[in-house]
Amino acid sequence: MKRWIWTFVCLFFAPAIWAQNHPQIDREKNFFENGQWANYGNNPGGMGYSPLKQINTANASQLKLAWTYHTGELKTYENTRIGQKAAFETTPLMVNGVLYFSTPTNRVIALSAEKGEELWTFNPKVNLQGGYSEITSRGVSKWIDSSLSPEDDDYLRILIATIDGRLIALNAKDGQPVNSFGENGTIDLTEGIGRIQVTSPPAVINDLIVIGSVMGDNQNIDYPSGAVRAYDARSGKLRWSWDPIPTDPEDPAYKAWDNPDPSKSGAANAWAPLSADPARDLVFVPTSSPSPDYYGGERKGHNNYANSLVALKASTGKVVWHFQAVHHDLWDFDVPAQPVLFDLEKDGEMVPAVAIVTKMGHIFVFNRENGEAMFPIEERPVPKSDVPGEETATTQPFPAQLPLLGLRKITKEDAWGPTPELKAKAEKRIAPLRNEGIFTPPSFEGTIMTPSNVGGMNWSGACFDPERQLLITNVNYLAALITLYPRDKKQINEIRAVNQRAEIGRQTGSPYVMTRDYLFEISSQGLIMQTKPPWGTLAAIDLKTGKLSWEVPLGIMMDPGKFPEAVNWGSLSLGGAMCTAGGLTFIAGTLDGFFRAFDSQTGKMLWGAQLPAGGHATPMSYQVNGKQYVLVAAGGHGKLGTPLGDQIMVYALE
């Protein structure tokens, strides 16, 4: 279909179809065009794009702080240990002049979007002494009852999924639980599954709430099911459940597992946000590694549906198509971010597309209707494991045209330190490790993993600028060190004694214990990377051509007063990018605690502001009474060690 014909269809036929058959689509279109931010990624497809352009490349340097709001979360952390893991990663919704967002402990807060006045708060009273793998919430979702009018009491519901495994529906007017939903407003997501968490807002599509889960999957083999479930948005009744580990021999993916047995593996869960395409009745699910992450001898085969982008028919939960980004994962290479849905200009036509960014630094783009690759993908040979019982995949999929981002392989020459002594220490650390580049499997001598499980790209994801056809993402350049120890030869306390800094994965039920560390040094000068810079970048990929448009350093990790070149070295980052029709890309996320605006076309930094705490959240933008605002949460990250806070920071032109 030629582009002008496609445009004609969209302009003249699609609106009528939307209004008649898809009230959600018509409503979301109005929210989007009127400068609201009604979903985690603004539209249900997670594009992370605002059509607002009052703030633009010509005036971004004039941005000033408009208002701030303290959530009180720091007081919540008192007398608990959760601050050690807590991360304020929320991206608020803005609907009809009200901001709705969640805190790391799942309190939900509603504010006036214009001035930040508190309207209500809801506390689900999560057990703050619980042993959670993650203490975060990336946001809330909404559901609108199309049978009611905006004035009706139950027209708009706010949905929060909690770190203790509950799904709660709140009345948007007063923040009280909706008693007609589930049991007094709550669904127990652990029922029939086991202990799970949820850190991402659920997807809402055609009166269904579709939700995944989080589990810390390095301690056992037999983790709970990573089932994705759909609930009736009105009543909370379970409509369907889909397990990424197939147990039906008739399922095409079943043969890619060596007798998939729930007692031999689990997880493969979807912990990142899902994306929805209401017009096509599709929900896009990014899945993770089966458990445990670093040994797959009990789950031989490619393990299809795990580490994949899976398109499910939203009304039934049936698989429409899938693409596996990693075969038989041994690296914790989950598909970590919300799939991005957009229209891609290809050979003069506009194609409904979906893109995923990955921890490997690989980007894959597909026709979202049928899974056809929009850019070529090829299988390439990868290193083989020498660990008894393990059977690695012989090849892995690589983008053949789109750029490969992040660390690919390091050598002794890539060792780095700000002094000769620290550089020599880095060389000594790297030299004895197994190091054959990406997909080098875990080993007894220790394996350098490039990229690490932190990325490449991570949950921060990507945004898409439809006018410029640019996919924009932040990239980490960090190597991990993975070592396996035979369980029958090494006790946990012995392993811990020689790996005091490393994370230990017991992998109970397997023959091996795992340790995970990273190639950096903690010294009197702070965190010192042991590989050459850059350590973090912001990159734009031109999806008209499939080429890298630009890549620039993002953030500062070392003191420029002592190291002037540090401004070119970049920083590790967790927290994504948001782009606007004003030609701007906004991002925080870096270890230096800055919030920045870049020219989307060139990558030039145009504005920056120091935040009061780490800004490890994805920003958003909205308009109220003719004025555009840009917002980011500044609450720090316990695991990263950035300063903790509890503030919502909102900027605008004077």
Residue burial 133-155, b: 16+ Cβ < 10 Å; e: rest: ebbbbbbbbbbbeeeeeeeeebb
Residue appearing with tokens 């004895």: 432
The residue type of 475 is V
CB 118 within 8 A of CB 98: no
Q: Is 325 helix (H, G, I), strand (E, B) or coil?
A: coil
| Candidate list 207, 329, 332, 343, residue with the active-site label | 332
* Phi/psi at 602 (5° precision): -120, -20
CB 442 within 8 A of CB 387: yes
Instruction: Provide DSSP, 586-648.
Output: EE--BTT-EEEEEETTT--EEEEEE-SS---S--EEEEETTEEEEEEEE--BTTTTBPP--EE
Beta bridge partners of 608: 596
Token pair of 441 as six digits: 């499997």
* Phi/psi at 392 (5° precision): -75, 155
Maximum Cα interatomic distance, the chain, rounded to a whole number of Å? 70
How far, in Å, CA of 18 to CA of 74, rounded? 45
332 is catalytic: yes
How far, in Å, CA of 299 to CA of 392, rounded? 11
Residue count of the chain, please give it.
Answer: 654
How far, in Å, CA of 391 to CA of 580, rounded? 46
Interstrand relation of 620-624 and 627-634 (parallel, antiparallel or unpaired): antiparallel
CB 341 within 8 A of CB 275: yes
Pick left, alpha or beta for residue 342 (phi over 0 → left; psi -120 to 50 → alpha; otherwise beta).
beta
For 18, the enclosing helix (H) or strand (E) is: helix 14-21
Token pair of 39 as six digits: 């979903």
CB atoms within 10 A of CB 360: 27
Interstrand relation of 462-465 and 166-171 (parallel, antiparallel or unpaired): unpaired
CB 573 within 8 A of CB 455: no
CB atoms within 10 A of CB 70: 14
Q: Is 280 helix (H, G, I), strand (E, B) or coil?
A: helix
Token pair of 314 as six digits: 């939203």
Rg (CA), the chain: 23
CB 144 within 8 A of CB 156: yes
> Of 283, 336, 347, 280, whose CA–CA distance to 312 is shortest?
283
CB 47 within 8 A of CB 37: no
CB 295 within 8 A of CB 331: no
CB 636 within 8 A of CB 84: no
Q: CA angle at residue 394 from 390 to 400, to 5 degrees?
A: 140
> Of 288, 145, 280, whose CA–CA distance to 216 is shortest?
288
Q: Which residues are catalytic?
A: 332
